[in-house]
Amino acid sequence: MIVTNTETVAGYRIVEVKGLVQGNTVRAKHAGRDIMAGFKNIVGGELKGYTELLTESRRQAVERMLGQAQQLGANAIVNVRFTTSAVTAGAAELYAYGTAVILEPELQA
């Protein structure tokens, strides 16, 4: 499955649009991560616990989006975007979405 944030894929043409596909996950912060983040706010540096949380959230949202595209019979997702939003204090949603399509290689002249 080709996944891209562009509207087209070089060397391919879109022959069918299957529709919008999406995947999301809602994650809550972890008390231990909050304590470590508090210390990092004092001394500075990367909040690795939150980086790992977001990386895992993105992976899960993309997997769910890919699952929808496969159910529709698509072989690619174009124009992929990510967004986040606060759901409640201490929890956030990561949302991935794009357009499921059927791609075919362009004919070489």
Cα–Cα dist 109/105, whole Å: 12
Residue 9, both tokens: 């894929």
The residue ranges of every structural domain in the chain are: 2-105
Architecture of domain 2-105: 2-Layer Sandwich (3.30)
The model's pTM: 0.81
pLDDT tens, position by position, 28-83: 866 555 555 555 556 667 777 778 888 899 999 999 999 999 999 999 999 999 99
CA dist 101 → 39, 40, 48, 56, 86 (Å): 46, 44, 36, 26, 30
CA dist 20 → 17, 66, 88, 93 (Å): 9, 11, 26, 18
Residue 18, both tokens: 């299957």
pLDDT tens, position by position, 41-56: 566 677 777 788 888 9
The residues with which 24 forms a beta bridge, in sequence order, are 95
